[in-house]
A and B are shown apart, each in its own frame.
Chain A
Amino acid sequence: MTENGNRAQAFVDVDNVSKWFGDLQVLDHVSLQVREHGVVCLIGASGSGKSTLLRCINMLERVEEGDITVDGQCLTKDKVNVNDVRRKIGIVFQAYNLFPHMTVLQNVVLAPRKARRVPREEAEWAARALLSRIGLESKADEFPDRLSGGQQQRVAIVRALAMQPKLMLLDEITSALDPQLVSEVLALVRELADSGMTMILATHEMAFAREVSDKVCFLDGGRILEEGPPEQIFSEPREPRTREFLSRVLAGGRMG
């Protein structure tokens, strides 16, 4: 096994997972292990299955074959309480998906208050602390549409963190942002990685993936074609498809 440890210790264990949307196979026998505090980046073209894999781990999509185990709990076999599982797993989407009818503060405290029954004052105090950590405490009472894209995405990250998840799934969270807003979001993700958060990121930010992750997986046509430490994947990819993908991305200037 790799530096992510053997299967028994893996915090996230995706085992031979397949999924179809109708006739289209979007995940094809995908296996992936993530150790606790590990940061794994999923790279690959749009439609390669990165988002679907993340959505399966959060049970937003049903897995048709194979098993997914998170923190010792098998999500696919046992009769699991979906809501309990999701409370441990935060996910952040490309389009932020903040609740537009609620203020920033209300966005952040909703799930802690309703799903974890944290008293209002306590939840708001914790939310304000999180918001001040990302420098957005002054925006607590604004509605999301008054914030820039980068600010909205940081609020979305904080909203997920407010549930004190053990695992964060980040689904191309900078893809909808203007280039000058990307760095403030990545800085927050870097901080999370440094604090020891276990994370799986689907990303097109290759330089960032190289810097922050301890394992990179290249997905192609619903399969993990190649995985390894970032130095190896980015410097000496074994698979021709990986090489082809990286050179295309490099030509696009995404390597930074």
Chain B
Amino acid sequence: MNALQHVLHAFFNLHSFTLAMPDVWAGFQLNLKMMVIAEALVLVIALGIAIVRGLPGPGARPLRALAIAYTDFFRGTPIIIVAYFIGFGLPGLQLGFISKQSFVTYGVITLTLVYSAYVTEVYRAGIESVHASQRAAARSLGLSYWQSMRYVIIPQAVRRVIPPLLNDFVGLQKDTAIVSVIGVTEAASLAQQFSNNNGDFPSLLVAAVFFILLTIPLARFTDYLVAQRERRERAQAF
């Protein structure tokens, strides 16, 4: 066997691939679970932070500053470091309830903290993209600031940011593998264990296939939404 054949055998051995499938699939359930919970939390929390960041008036300055500090910190910190701080820091603090959660929960917290920072910026861009005249129209009708946000600004903003938002979620789905560093036995870590025991790598390929199969529909759905919006906007231009 030459070098290439060696590598091909080590990575693309069908027998080993099939053998690893059940283990990795079992771990992948955890990825799915973390992903769904984190995405739901991110959708809500990020919108809240984006709204706080856009609050008007000098009285809201401390709140705005807090929101900016949050996004700056969690966008700038590598997720693996956040994972260590949450996964090993929180239990170490001995804070009762907070320190007695499972690694999966800490993983979800990590993902939520980091991706809320990204998605906050996405929402914020969306809110700012709604033309000022829309706000003027809403306020001039006697709607309050919050009513204008709730019924006029945010619905339009959210519609516009769905494609970039789903793009961030593709990233989140893959990063569920990173939280394995704090001891979550998810697909990637199980694949790695399997690989260590077996002395070859098809198990990693199994994990890769699962992740790809999960993100492709989301990516195509994003493409569809972008195309649909372009069609609608072109229709408006005539």
Contacts and interface: CB of A to CB of B under 8 A. Distances in A.
B218 interface: no
Given A100-B156, A145-B236, A115 B133 contact: no
A83 B159 contact: no
A95 B131 CA distance: 12
Interface in B135-191: 136-144, 147, 151-152, 155-156, 159
Contact of B142 (A60, A99, A100, A111): A111
Interface string A175-213: 000000000000000000000000000000000000000
B56 to A, nearest CB: 13
Nearest to B235: A145
B136 A97 contact: yes
Interface residues of B, number: 19
A18 interface: no
B134 interface: yes
A62 B107 CA distance: 49
A82 B144 CA distance: 9
B142 A93 contact: no
A93 B136 CA distance: 10
A110 B151 contact: yes
B97 to A, nearest CB: 40
Interface in A83-122: 83-84, 86-87, 89-91, 93, 95, 97-101, 110-111, 114-116
Contacts of A97: 133-134, 136-137
A100 to B, nearest CB: 7
B221 to A, nearest CB: 20
A104 B235 CA distance: 18
Given A101-B159, A110-B151, A115-B147, A86 B142 contact: yes
A16 B169 CA distance: 56
Nearest to A82: B139
A101 B141 contact: no
A91 B139 CA distance: 10
A60 B139 contact: yes
Given A91-B140, A110-B141, A160-B141, 4 more contacts: A86-B142, A97-B136, A100-B156, A111-B141
25 contacts: A60-B140, A83-B142, A83-B143, A83-B144, A86-B139, A86-B140, A86-B142, A91-B140, A93-B133, A97-B136, A99-B137, A99-B138, A99-B151, A100-B156, A101-B156, A110-B141, A110-B143, A111-B141, A111-B142, A111-B143, A114-B147, A115-B141, A159-B141, A160-B140, A160-B141
